[in-house]
Amino acid sequence: MTTSQSDKSTTPEALGRVTFLDGQGELPMLEISTPWSTAGIYLHGAHVTQFQKKDESPLLFLSQCSRFAEGQPIRGGIPVVFPWFGAREGLGQHGFARIKPWDLKEFAPAPDGSVSVRLRLPDCPEASAFPPFTADYLVTMSQSLTLALIVTNLSKDAEFTFENCLHTYFDVGDVTAITIHGLKGLAYLDKVASFQEKTETRDAIRIASEVDRVYQNATGTVEIRDPRLGRRIRVDKEGSASTVVWNPWIAKSRQMSDFGNEEYTRMVCVESGNVASNSISLAPGASSTLTVKLSSEALK
């Protein structure tokens, strides 16, 4: 049987595919393939754990020691941090969204071969400390990976103040060889130095020790150049005024039971959100959207 050009666009290869399966820890997950890429998303935490273009190595780092269990965060991929970032007295670190099972609302292979998946954070006891809200997460896979976290304040009269962050773990060839670009001139809170406020003076940031920085009023594109993998990763974003850069280095790695002692050499987090002085205050009935587009190409 021969397939004409117009038929070719509707062949299975040309269209995206979504498969439901039990992932690690028997947590339900979606495996997605498009003509250009493959991806994996756990309903647990609406957690994207894998994205890979056909001719490239994986974009995201996932720890070999990660837990895959109810109530526990997954180490690696893209944790969805919401409705708070960092420590909060008497509560878990980085909010509750990343440890809850999200509801799959929709999955849509598009005629162009891309696939979109929409998930919603179900109501939970922890949410009662905040005004009523909805949190939807739209993940679109094609040649690139686009993520949108849409939060709506359902209250009639109360303002909803929160932080959010897509805490992306990128896979790199050698963390000491990469450079990070796009943050020069920005103020940042240095968590390694007790949150001292400093200013970034370098065009090209290198990692040679523990790094944990919250760049404020950082709305621009960030680029990671990786000579070992011959790759340039772009982090484009909208609705985000903070960028966080993190590598635990040696000592912190040894303290984390869900992270390998040497894994710090193969990852860097470049995170996009709204944290600390950039937190969001939503008026009653209002919505906010945090959009991040991750793309990569060969380093020329």
Tokens matching residue 211: 């790094």
Could you tell me if residue 9 is left (phi over 0), alpha (psi between -120 and 50 degrees) or otherwise beta?
A: alpha
Is 244 among the residues that bind ligand TA6 (CB under 6 A)? yes
Is 82 among the residues that bind ligand TA6 (CB under 6 A)? no
Strands 179-181 and 204-205: antiparallel
| DSSP label of 54 | T
Q: Which of 167, 169, 182, 292 binds ligand TA6 (CB under 6 A)?
A: 167
Least distance to ligand TA6, CB of residue 165, Å: 7
Measured over the CA atoms of residue 231, residue 232, residue 238 and residue 244, the dihedral's sign is positive
Give the three-state DSSP class for 99.
helix
Is 77 among the residues that bind ligand TA6 (CB under 6 A)? no
| DSSP label of 206 | -
**Cα–Cα distance between 277 and 116 in angstroms, integer?**
32
Which residues, listed in sequence order, are joined to residue 253 by a DSSP beta bridge? none
In the complex with ligand TA6, which residue's Cβ is closer, 233 or 244?
A: 244
Is 260 among the residues that bind ligand TA6 (CB under 6 A)? no
Catalytic residues: 167, 271
Q: Which of 188, 215, 246, 264 binds ligand TA6 (CB under 6 A)?
A: 246
Q: Which of 142, 271, 280, 292 binds ligand TA6 (CB under 6 A)?
A: 271
Is 67 among the residues that bind ligand TA6 (CB under 6 A)? no
Give the three-state DSSP class for 230.
coil
Q: Which of 200, 212, 226, 263 binds ligand TA6 (CB under 6 A)?
A: 212
Give the three-state DSSP class for 220.
coil
| DSSP label of 245 | E
Which residues, listed in sequence order, are joined to residue 135 by a DSSP beta bridge? 151
Is 86 among the residues that bind ligand TA6 (CB under 6 A)? yes
CB 23 within 8 A of CB 29: yes
Q: Which of 3, 9, 19, 93 binds ligand TA6 (CB under 6 A)?
A: 93
Least distance to ligand TA6, CB of residue 95, Å: 10
Choices 8-16, 26-34, 86-94, 168-176 (CB under 6 A): range interacting with ligand TA6: 86-94
Q: How many residues bind ligand TA6 (CB under 6 A)?
A: 11
Is 47 among the residues that bind ligand TA6 (CB under 6 A)? no
Least distance to ligand TA6, CB of residue 85, Å: 7
- Element containing residue 254 per DSSP (H, E): helix 249-255
List residues near ligand TA6 by CB under 6 A: 73, 86, 93-94, 167, 191, 212, 244, 246, 269, 271
